[in-house]
Amino acid sequence: MEFAERVRGSLVGGALGDALGWPIEFLRLDRIRELHGEAGLTDLADAGRGGQVTDDTQMTLFTAEGLLRGGRREDLHAAYRRWFQTQRLPGPERFPDGWLAGQEFLYASRAPGNACMTGVVLDCTEAVPFGQDGPVNPNSKGCGTVMRSAPFGLVGLGPDEAFRQAALAAQLTHGHPTGYLAAGAFAALIERVAAGVPLRAAVSSTLARLAAVPDNAETTQALRRAVRVADEGPGSAESVERVGLGWVAEECLAIAVYAALVGADAREALVLAVNHSGDSDSTGAVCGNLVGAMYGLSGLPADWCALVEGREVLLQVADDLVAFAHGDRAALADRYPLPVG
Ligand SMILES: [Mg+2]
């Protein structure tokens, strides 16, 4: 399978999981079953919100934009500031800063994460060495780091740089080591899967990368738990909840890995990833990034792809990431103006 097919799958897949999970983000499992039956919410057409996506997809797009508009940590910070503006303004300004900020659908505010909102308004801070508490929201390890970080693995950085850059950019909003290391692990995992490495082997190599940095225990244990529960039997919502609830970064990553391991295909994995009492849209989004990279765009449910909000923009950004990864950057200058000076 071509790299471009996997990158497209990863961005669109994330949006599918986000859209499927968003209507049940704040519902407990028993309530989801009351509303949608024993199997839970199994079809995006039944979600009732017209395929809407939330902050997870929005921030993922701005992560991609930050990478395409310079790629330094301060460029990521500037991109997250542009995302923040979408959460405050009713729609694009007359002369939006870049092509992405001109996309009307991004201006919806749908339960954005607290640490992301409070973190990005601060100035761009110095990065701290792995294992130390970062200066911004030092106790936060919410999943807002993981859910936005897939593009670091889709832009040709290689697994070590994907890990490093994602974790350092995660420190812009979340200072707890698990918060930013889980984002690094996710980016490295996505990078390997998008390179064609089977998921289990990609998880193993990610665990080895984690072992090389201090304070990795929570993220390592969560990933190991995902694999162990996946090996114990067929997928179920009860098994998902043994892996975690996904409000915190390492559990969000672990649920996505669990669902991707156990699901027979992308649709089954996404349904598993969202039907639980936890943070359904983020676990869905992260799982979608993963299964999209595994199965490619054509391996995603076509009926859901036709429904999901922002599909054309997601595909354009995916192709832009691929062009960038291939060093073909001249055509990107119009959509992604580089920083001056
Ligand atoms: Mg969300």
> What is the amino acid identity at position 41?
L
Task: Look at residue 108 in the predicted model and tell me its pLDDT.
Answer: 96
- Average pLDDT of the chain, as a whole number: 97
Contacts of 170 (CB under 8 A, 6+ apart): 145, 149, 179, 180, 183, 184
CA of residue 225 to ligand 1 center, whole Å: 24
Query: What distance in angstroms lies between residue 69's CA and the mean position of ligand 1's atoms?
Result: 24
319: annotated binding-site residue? Answer: no
For every residue of 156-170, DSSP letters joined together read S--HHHHHHHHHHHH
User: Is the pTM for the entire model greater than 0.85?
Assistant: yes
pLDDT of residue 114: 92
> Which pair of structure tokens corresponds to residue 231?
């090996």
Q: Of 70, 64, 54, 58, which Cα lies nearest the Cα of 18?
A: 54
Provide the residue count of the chain. Answer: 341
Task: Output DSSP code: residue 185.
Answer: H
C-alpha 116 to ligand 1 mean position (Å) = 11
Name the CATH code of domain 3-126+142-332 (choices 1.10.4080.10, 3.40.50.11810, 3.50.50.60, 1.25.40.80). Answer: 1.10.4080.10
Q: Is the pLDDT of residue 298 over 70?
A: yes
Closest to 230 (Cα-Cα) out of 194, 190, 253, 260: 260
- Known binding residue 328? Answer is no
The span from the CA of 175 to the CA of 29, in Å, is: 31
What is 287-337 written as a DSSP string? HHHHHHHHH-GGGS-HHHHHHSTTHHHHHHHHHHHHHHHTT--GGGTTTSP
| In contact, 187 and 290? CB cutoff 8 Å | no
Say how many CA atoms lie within 13 Å of 133 toward its Cβ: 6
Q: Is 54 assigned to a binding site?
A: yes
Cα–Cα distances (Å) from 103 to 108, 240, 319, 333, in that order, read 11, 35, 17, 17
Q: What is the pLDDT of residue 331?
A: 85
Å from CA of 25 to ligand 1 middle: 8
Gap from CA of 13 to ligand 1 centroid (Å):
14
Domain segments of the chain as ranges: 3-126+142-332
Which among 69, 190, 285, 215 has a CA at the least distance from the CA of 77? 69
**Given its phi and psi angles, is residue 76 left (phi above 0), alpha (psi -120 to 50 degrees) or beta?**
alpha
Question: H helices then E strands: how many in the chain?
Answer: 15, 0
Cα-to-centroid distance, 114 and ligand 1 (Å)? 11
| pLDDT 10s digits, 136-163 | 999 999 999 999 999 999 999 999 999 9
Q: How many CB atoms lie within 10 A of CB 71?
A: 17
Distance (angstroms) between ligand 1 centre and the Cα of 334 equals 29
From the CA of 278, how far away is ligand 1's center (Å)? 12
CA gap 21, 13 in Å, rounded: 12
Residue 18 Cα to ligand 1 middle (Å): 7
Average pLDDT over residues 68-91: 97
298: left (phi over 0), alpha (psi -120 to 50) or beta: alpha
200: confidence class by pLDDT, cuts 50, 70, 90: very high
Q: What is the pLDDT of residue 330?
A: 86
Residue 333 CA to ligand 1 centre (angstroms): 30
Q: What is the pLDDT of residue 113?
A: 92
Is the model's pLDDT at 81 over the cut of 90? yes
200 CA distance to ligand 1 middle (Å):
27
54 CA distance to ligand 1 middle (Å): 5
Q: Residue 341 pLDDT > 80, yes or no?
A: no
Q: Would you tell me how many other CB atoms lie within 10 Å of the CB of residue 38?
A: 6
Query: Where is average pLDDT lowest: 161-165, 232-236, 251-255, 302-306?
Result: 232-236
Percentage above 90 pLDDT, the chain: 96
For ligand 1, the distance from its centroid to the CA atom of residue 223, given in whole angstroms, is 22
Q: Would the pLDDT of 194 be above 80?
A: yes
Residue 111 CA to ligand 1 center (angstroms) comes to: 6
The secondary structure element, H or E, covering residue 194 is helix 177-194
Cα-based angle 66, 72, 78 (whole degrees, multiple of 5): 45
What spacing in Å lies between the alpha carbon of 327 and ligand 1's midpoint? 32
Ligand 1 centre to CA of 283 (Å) is 9
Summarised one tens digit per residue, pLDDT across range 128-138 is 999 999 999 99
* Residue 277 counted as an annotated binding residue: no
Mean pLDDT across 45-55: 94
**Hey, what's the torsion of the CAs at 7, 231, 249, 73, to 10 degrees?**
-40
**Do the beta carbons of residue 162 and residue 10 sit within 8 Å?**
no
Task: Quote the CA–CA distance of 172 and 154 in Å, as a whole number.
Answer: 20
